[in-house]
Structure 1
Amino acid sequence: MRALAADGWQVTAASRGGGSDGGWPPGVRTVRVDRTDTAALAAALGDGCDVLLDCVAYDGEHARQLLSLADRIGSAVVISSAAIYRDEEGRSFDTQEEPDGFPRYPVPIPETQPTVAAGPETYGTRKVELEQTLLAAGDRLPSTLLRAGAIHGPHSPLPRELYFVKRALDGRTVRVLPYGGTTRFHPVHAANIAELVRLAARAPGSRVLNAGDPAVPTAAEISAEIDRAMGRTSETVLVDGPPPEPTVGSHPWATQYPVVLDMTAAERELGYRAVTTYEDSLPGTVAWLVDEVTGADWKERFPLPAKLSDASGDWFDYAAEDAWLAKRG
């Protein structure tokens, strides 16, 4: 919002709630729209717009909805996902829970890396369907698809940093990191996505581009940076290999193999330069998280991380962790 307004665009923010944010620049118009209601979206577009940014398009049906309104849209920028990539053996995020199922991607992953097949089955396959449908109609609606990594920053519905922030708030002074703490999952701050959007809006085209921060910290580096932001000190116990117990050491960055995106295409095609780094942006994210979870039920406040935690057993099973540490000696 700020990046586009600062670049001279007249910005309208559409959402189901129709609300605004105190940090938005003056002049941003708001409108209440449910994207599943095509008539309401058409009404919100009115006579049309030069650029449409779609952060909540997930499948081919959403792509076809946008194409049905192509005569009112100059170009589109649509958020896709790095979850669409597969490795040379066919492994992807969809197979990561299978034995030996985590993908071995090249480091870094270029946009030419194969993707999963398009279809309605999973988040990744639906995103591929979204991409293919829009790209096939590039003559009608030029669309930039941004394959985002792990999105972070204040107001994220899936703040992975919550794992280490809550541990610090709970007074935990030790953390267990599998795979030697070296796991990497490419983050992208909302401000860097905004910069990509700003540049794509200036240069319409039909393309796919990765969206990531300029560097990819390891899990150990992330945990240490969060400690610094909170003024805490923790002991780190490194484990070679996977989490030693189902609820010990399982965290949101515990990917068995690295997921690192190649950003050279965005740099070449758009002149992209990141506006922030993970480390520089982290204090703002941490302060927001501390404010959000202090005195609150974290699972009610953040249902998506709660779902991930439940799927792995329990991110914060301190009794199991203490028992493992005691047995380890």
Structure 2
Amino acid sequence: MRVLAEDGWEVRAASRGGGSDPGWPEGVRPLALDRGAEGELAAALGAGCDVLVDMVAYDGGHARQIASLADRVGSAVVISSGAVYEDERGRSFDTQGEPDGSPRYPLPIPESLATVEPGDRTYGTRKIQLERELLASPLPSTLLRAGAVHGPHCRSPRELFFVKRALDRRPVRVLAYGGASRFHPAHVANIAELVRLAALRPGSRVLNAADPQAPTVAEIGAAVDEVLGVDSETVVFDGAPAEGSTVGLTPWSAPHSVVYDMAAAERELGYRPVTGYVESLPATVASIVDRLGGGDWREAFPGMANYPDLFDYAAEDAWLAAR
């Protein structure tokens, strides 16, 4: 919202709660909006808008909802996901739990890579359904396939894995796959810059959205330690944890790296990143520490409980003792 307002747009910021942020420029108008309520989005648009930025659109139903307003919207910029891609053997994020199911994507991944089939089954199939229906509509729509989103105020920050360990004075970090896993991050400021540029250049397109660097999980851990002023030992091992164990797994861990190609965004929009992962990390870490406030991490970040046994220190200690 801030970059659009600073670029001269009149911005209405709609959310379910209708709240605002003290960092927004003067003139941004908050609006309470439940897009699931019949006719509420259409009513909020009134006579229309030049650009509709949709951060939460999820599936074909949302695509049809947006497309139905094409007569009142100049163009749309909609957040999709890198989870839509599949490799040459049909493996994707959806198959990671299967034997040999981890996708082996080309590095970096271009937007031309094959995608999963659209449908209602999974996050990825719903996101590609969203993309295809919008691109087939008369409304000029830019779909941004975001990587691992990070930044201040994130509700499920992957960095919590290392931040909490540093705060708990854990002297060792154990990392599977040699600590070399890469899951390309996308800082909210870089995504905002892509939104800003796409708003200025309406069109129907899909573009990757990611940071200029894709650090390894070991590099991320070292960067978090530096921000917090701690010095931890990193212990790595090759391959996956033993069956039934989660020791060494992190929210970035995978047998094969995921890195997105940003050349199309540079070529089509003139995109240049506004920040890198390491440069942006202090504000992200400060936000996590503030939200933790010394309390239970599950209450502060309930979405992170979806990851298995993030802080099973007893299992880590047993693994280290056996080693």
TM range (shorter): over 0.9
Structure 1 window deviating more from structure 2 (52-61 vs 31-40): it is 31-40
Q: For residues 42 and 60 of structure 1, what CA distance do their matches in structure 2 show?
A: 17
- Residue 301 of structure 1: CA displacement? 1.9
How do residues 40-55 of structure 1 correspond to structure 2 at under 5 angstroms?
A: 40-55=40-55
CA contact (8 A) 1:38 1:65 kept: no
1:22 alignment counterpart:
22
Identity of aligned residues (%): 68
Q: For residues 190 and 2 of structure 1, what CA distance do their matches in structure 2 show?
A: 12
- Residue 295 of structure 1: CA displacement? 2.1
2:167 alignment counterpart:
169
How do residues 317-328 of structure 1 correspond to structure 2 at under 5 angstroms?
A: 317-328=312-323
- Residue 294 of structure 1: CA displacement? 2.5
Structure 1 window deviating more from structure 2 (46-55 vs 30-39): it is 30-39
Q: For residues 71 and 153 of structure 2, what CA distance do their matches in structure 1 show?
A: 33
1:147 alignment counterpart:
145
Q: For residues 160 and 254 of structure 1, what CA distance do their matches in structure 2 show?
A: 11
- The Cα offsets for residues 241-291 of structure 1, whole Å up to 9 and x where unpaired, read as 113461311111111101000000000000000000000000000011011
Q: For residues 316 and 326 of structure 1, what CA distance do their matches in structure 2 show?
A: 17
| 2:241 equivalent to 1:246 | no
Q: For residues 322 and 286 of structure 1, what CA distance do their matches in structure 2 show?
A: 25
2:89 alignment counterpart:
89
Q: For residues 36 and 315 of structure 2, what CA distance do their matches in structure 1 show?
A: 44
1:62 alignment counterpart:
62
Q: For residues 247 and 86 of structure 1, what CA distance do their matches in structure 2 show?
A: 25
Q: For residues 140 and 107 of structure 2, what CA distance do their matches in structure 1 show?
A: 29
- Partner letter of residue 170 of structure 2? R
Which of 167, 188, 191 is 2:189 aligned to? Answer: 191
- Partner letter of residue 222 of structure 2? A
- Residue 41 of structure 1: CA displacement? 0.9
Helix, strand or coil: the match of 2:238? coil
Task: Provide the aligned length of Structure 1 versus Structure 2.
Answer: 322
Helix, strand or coil: the match of 2:286? helix
Structure 1 window deviating more from structure 2 (297-306 vs 237-246): it is 237-246
CA contact (8 A) 1:177 1:243 kept: no
Q: For residues 303 and 58 of structure 1, what CA distance do their matches in structure 2 show?
A: 21
- Partner letter of residue 316 of structure 2? E
CA contact (8 A) 1:186 1:260 kept: yes
- Residue 35 of structure 1: CA displacement? 1.0
Q: For residues 140 and 257 of structure 2, what CA distance do their matches in structure 1 show?
A: 32
- Partner letter of residue 212 of structure 1? A
- The Cα offsets for residues 50-96 of structure 1, whole Å up to 9 and x where unpaired, read as 00000010000000001111111110000000000000000000000
1:136 alignment counterpart:
136
Q: For residues 215 and 315 of structure 2, what CA distance do their matches in structure 1 show?
A: 28
1:286 alignment counterpart:
285
Q: For residues 285 and 6 of structure 2, what CA distance do their matches in structure 1 show?
A: 26
| 2:259 equivalent to 1:260 | yes
5+ residue gaps, structure 2, are none
Q: For residues 181 and 117 of structure 1, what CA distance do their matches in structure 2 show?
A: 32
1:5 alignment counterpart:
5
Helix, strand or coil: the match of 2:166? helix
- Residue 170 of structure 1: CA displacement? 1.2
1:307 alignment counterpart:
306
Helix, strand or coil: the match of 1:112? coil
Query: C-alpha root-mean-square deviation of aligned residues, in Å?
Result: 0.9
Helix, strand or coil: the match of 2:39? helix
- The Cα offsets for residues 77-135 of structure 1, whole Å up to 9 and x where unpaired, read as 00000000000000000000111100000000000000000000000000010000000
Which of 184, 190, 200 is 2:198 aligned to? Answer: 200
- Partner letter of residue 294 of structure 2? G
- The Cα offsets for residues 114-158 of structure 1, whole Å up to 9 and x where unpaired, read as 000000000000001000000011xx2100000000000011122
- Residue 210 of structure 1: CA displacement? 0.2
Q: For residues 196 and 129 of structure 1, what CA distance do their matches in structure 2 show?
A: 22
Provide TM-score, normalisation by structure 1. 0.96
1:212 alignment counterpart:
210
Q: For residues 276 and 145 of structure 1, what CA distance do their matches in structure 2 show?
A: 21
Q: For residues 198 and 40 of structure 2, what CA distance do their matches in structure 1 show?
A: 26
Kindly report structure 1 stretches of 4+ aligned residues shifted beyond 3 Å.
none
Q: For residues 246 and 155 of structure 1, what CA distance do their matches in structure 2 show?
A: 31
- Residue 171 of structure 1: CA displacement? 1.3
